[in-house]
């Protein structure tokens, strides 16, 4: 099944979401993964793979002092923010691909938007009528 992410199927997108949890959670624990994004992180049970990876990442993010630790030039909060942005953007992609409500929770989207702008700069606005065939980015909350 296609997604708004060009060349990605729903399975690819789910695998990416699991990988994002693995990479950012591993970084928070000081043990980033040694395998790459090209590996299969879903196995036979996609739900269990996501639940396991996200639970481990939540535990890693809850470490005392995590938000204030330094990860190179970035503070710990940036590690958490980066995963939040990935989950928001690709959650929208997934909902859109599956034909579900793709509206972002306004409070979370508003909180994430300054981070997106700081990290990625200003992005062009999506088309007025986004569809899986046309829109590579979720709608922004202004």
> Residue 126 pLDDT > 60, yes or no?
no
Q: Which residues contact 60 (CB under 8 A, 6 or more apart)?
A: 25, 26, 28, 29, 66
pLDDT tens sequence across 41-87: 899 999 999 999 999 999 999 999 999 898 888 889 999 999 999 99
CA–CA separation, 101 and 85 (whole Å): 18
Between CA 59 and CA 63, with CA 62 as vertex, the angle to 5 degrees is 100
Q: Give the closest residue to 65 by CA, choosing from 77, 78, 83, 56.
A: 77
Mean pLDDT of 102-118: 87
Whole-prediction pTM: 0.78
């Amino acid at each position: 099944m296609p997604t708004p992410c060009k060349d990605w199927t729903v399975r690819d997108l789910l695998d990416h979401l699991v990988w994002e949890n693995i990479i950012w959670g591993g970084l928070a624990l000081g043990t980033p993964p040694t395998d790459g994004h090209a590996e299969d992180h879903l196995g036979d049970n996609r739900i269990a793979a996501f639940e396991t990876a996200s639970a481990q990442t939540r535990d890693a993010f809850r470490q005392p002092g995590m938000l204030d630790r330094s990860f190179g030039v970035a503070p710990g909060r940036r590690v958490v923010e980066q995963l939040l942005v990935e989950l928001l953007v690709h959650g929208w992609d997934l909902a859109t691909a599956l034909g579900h409500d793709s509206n972002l929770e306004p409070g979370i989207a508003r909180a994430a938007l300054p981070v997106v702008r700081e990290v990625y700069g200003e992005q062009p606005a999506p088309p007025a009528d986004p569809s899986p065939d046309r829109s590579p980015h979720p709608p922004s909350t202004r």
